[in-house]
Structure 1
Amino acid sequence: MDKSVISNPKSHYGSGKLATRHFITQRLTGALGIAFTIFFIWLVVRLAGADRAEMLAVIGNPFVAIVTALLVINVCVHMRIGMQEVIEDYIDDPRLHSLTMLLNNFFCLAIAVIGVLAIAKIALWG
């Protein structure tokens, strides 16, 4: 970016409210990620050495299934915002910027939907 644009105090870089929302959301999903990591470690240790039937029984527990689905959603939201920041920082071409933002949103949504549907399948139908 041109140095004269950066040094001009009247330059506009986007919505301050949107940036604040992304900042807060990124921090909240990061903090929730710590709690979800503790749960995930418990889940992996619990399922270590378990056979398929026991694994299906544990994942089929409504509490475990819901928390695991929330973990997937949390990670996808955190990933979407993080990648959005990278795209905004490094992609300057407006057409390429729009395309990469669209692909980022689609990819994160697809991962979240596939993950939640996989958990639902295991929890509901084994």
Structure 2
Amino acid sequence: MGNGTQLGRVRGLGAGGGAIVHHWWLQRVTAVGSLILVLWFVISLVRLPSLDYASAVMWVRQPIVAVPLCLLIVSVFWHFRLGVQVMLEDYLHGSKRVIAMLALNFYTVSLAAMALFSVLKVALSAAAN
């Protein structure tokens, strides 16, 4: 086995052209971001006076809450997609992999969009009297 081209050795890129390292870093960054945001989410929920519907709606309507909630949704779904992508690439081959990746992308984007829409609908809705 060779070490790749001379240019590749100089740049420090392997056979994947740095894509594997990029994917690995994205998984770590989204994991840390999700961990921080989940801790914020749990602490915020514990600090609420009650967990009834009215309190939750008033809590989500605050911009200081709605923005981190949207970031949490994006981070968790992105991390989920990256992890499942690695699993699919390792265990599926040929057309099955392509179909599974398309299904994964559709599933992830549609669920993330529904979650973001739900948060934004509550956050941007007018206060009901």
Shorter-chain TM-score: what band? Answer: 0.7 to 0.9
Residue type of the alignment partner of 1:30: A
Partner of 2:68: 67
Consecutive aligned runs of 4 or more in structure 1 exceeding 4 Å deviation: none
Q: Post-superposition shift, 1:23? A: 0.5
SS in 2 for 1:16: coil
Q: Post-superposition shift, 1:78? A: 0.2
Q: Post-superposition shift, 1:18? A: 1.5
SS in 2 for 1:116: helix
Partner of 2:16: 15
Higher helix share: 1
SS in 1 for 2:39: helix
Q: Post-superposition shift, 1:108? A: 0.9
- Name the CA shift for 1:48/1:84 in 2 (closer, same or farther; >3 Å): farther
CA RMSD in angstroms comes to: 2.0
SS in 1 for 2:50: coil
Q: Does 1:123 align with 2:97?
A: no
Partner of 2:44: 43
For 2:122 and 2:56, locate their aligned partners in 1 and report how far apart those are by CA, in whole Å: 9
For 1:116 and 1:20, locate their aligned partners in 2 and report how far apart those are by CA, in whole Å: 29
Residue type of the alignment partner of 2:124: L
Q: Post-superposition shift, 1:109? A: 0.7
Tell me the TM-score normalised to structure 1 length.
0.83
Q: Determine what percentage of the aligned residue pairs are the same residue.
A: 28
Partner of 2:82: 81
Partner of 1:3: none
Partner of 1:4: none
Partner of 1:58: 59
Q: Figure out how many residues of one structure are paired with residues of the other and give that number.
A: 116
Summarize deviations over 1:15-68 as a string: whole Å, max 9, x none: 232211110100000111221121111132134633322211111001100100
For 1:80 and 1:16, locate their aligned partners in 2 and report how far apart those are by CA, in whole Å: 21
Tell me the TM-score normalised to structure 2 length.
0.81
